[in-house]
Structure 1
Amino acid sequence: MTRLSVNINKIATLRNSRGGNNPDLIKVALDCERFGAEGITVHPRPDERHIRYQDVDDLKKTIKTEFNIEGNPVEDSFMKLVLNNRPAQVTLVPDALGQITSNHGWDTIANQSYLKEVISEFQLAGIRVSIFVDPVAEMIEATATTGTNRIELYTEAYASGYHADREKAIAPYVEAAQIAQKLGLGLNAGHDLDLVNLQYFAQNIPGLLEVSIGHALVCDALYYGLENTIQMYLRQLAV
């Protein structure tokens, strides 16, 4: 079954909005694990507007499931943070400084040599590497030569097109997954997946190992409660 990694950035945003430690980020992460999440994802940014670098240190010492740190390795501070904490996985995302949220994958052709260097450094430290990519055949093929272990498909386009024509929306992702399998790449996915569109995605994407979900899951938890929401997402993945 596809693993569910819960992104807790929004919990940190809520905490930071009032200062103090309410909600307690570490407790929420442990509760997510207790409720069935199979991983915890964070995406620290240089301005620390949600996840703080200290949070990453604290989480690494505490959580028991897979730890996934997302971010842009162009920042020296990010490189040091990941190498110091050695999570199970680092997901490389080409965010611009100050960007609100991720909105595109890597150009794995133009950034080939840079990605090779960064990926090698993380792998030498025993960290599995995933690269955030769009479902574009040329980019998937170029990704295979970087040495990365996995790719994470950026699923915003699928989510946006799901209600109008879900078969059309998922078609490029199916093709991308098939290419990834042929090239021996592990496959993750994330961004705007939710209780409405997740099951269809998981049912139709071959070799899907992991999804990382944060914003939608936290929003749903406001209505359904955190434990119930995580169980609801896990049921969508039980295909």
Structure 2
Amino acid sequence: MQAQALLHLLQFASPALPIGAYSYSQALEAALESGAVHDAATARSWIADSLHQVMARWDGPLCWRLMQGFAQHDADSVACWSERFIASRDTAEFRAETVQMGYSLNKLLQELGVVDETRLAMLQAGGEVTLPAAYACAVAALAIPHEEALLAMLFAWAENQVLVCVKSVPLGQVAGQRMLLSLRDELAAAAQTAMQLGDEEMGNWTPGLSLLSMRHEVQYSRLYRS
């Protein structure tokens, strides 16, 4: 991997990217409220289950397809998978999350001037921009290798989940870093699964997660937007 591509990846996968990722827990806060997550062991179990059942089988493979679509200037593929991702957001908070961060990253890409007009047009063709589509657009425009970009996306998601636990379980900073280290092999396995799944094998059927997300919409006291 060339140094320039690596530096681009570090920037666009960083939690410091100003798109608001830190303000979402993806229903983890509701799991904390219910008691399903209450210590380091249950926090790790939650993150690992979400990684393998959702990220590896839906968000990851879909992002993989979007990266290929943008790289090949395949507008039909980009539109198809963007539409399917929006449709898969089955609660108001999940939908608002990807639309808000997709909008923010789309705007950032325009202001930085790192994406050509053709790819920007593909990204914006469907109206609402999803976060995976905006990320994939940046990956293609900056010539970042797809495998590394996918793994970075999964790591950034896991890091954000761990940070929610550090703040809210609460866990110590060292315990959070220990948890991230323990997830290395599982993140690599999830990336491999995401790259290998066929279209008919993809899915994010997790009704329990959807119910927790709906509970979070009316949760009285909360720090996060999802």
Q: Is the TM-score greater than 0.5?
A: no
Of Structure 1 and Structure 2, the greater helix share is in: 2
Q: Which structure is higher in RCO with an 8 Å CA cutoff and minimum separation 6?
A: 2
Of Structure 1 and Structure 2, the greater strand share is in: 1
TM-score of the two chains, using structure 1 as the length reference: 0.27
TM-score of the two chains, using structure 2 as the length reference: 0.28
